[in-house]
Amino acid sequence: MSATKTRFETHDGGVWVLRGDNPDLDIIKPIKVGSNVYFGYGCVVLPGVTIGDNVVVGAGAVVSRDIPSNCVAVGVPARVIRSIEEYSERSVASGISTKRLAPLDKRKYLEARYKDMNEQGN
């Protein structure tokens, strides 16, 4: 699992407004996350949610219901937008193979690749 600035909320804080009549009320539910799951920056996962295996959750998503395995989910509330197979096809088609380059080699490659954009001020 990979998660940056992701919050896992296992309790429902909204019950504070009910504490006048129900002073001991809590709603606490576990969150289950499968294998090989990536959370984009700033996700929030709410109580009781189950997320399957091989899932990408888009940045800023609020996961308020279960997400099945092998898909990409985005939005507020998060919803499935494509299969992991479709995501893989698009990523491979548009990606570049620089992950294992040494930092200096990667920089040189990227500067050469995007040279025209830099010259145009983009």
In this prediction, residues 16-31 reach a mean pLDDT of: 94
pTM score: 0.84
Total count of domains within the chain: 1
What SS3 class is residue 108?
helix
User: Could you give the percent of the chain with pLDDT greater than 70?
Assistant: 95
Residues of the domain holding 38: 2-119
Residue 116 predicted with pLDDT over 90: no
Q: Report d(CA 70, CA 76) in Å as an integer.
A: 20
State the amino acid at position 49 in one-letter form: V
Question: With contact defined as beta carbons under 8 Å apart, do 85 and 96 qualify?
Answer: no
- CATH number of 27's domain: 2.160.10.10
In this prediction, residues 43-67 reach a mean pLDDT of: 98
Measured from the Cβ of residue 28, the count of other Cβ atoms closer than 10 Å reads 10
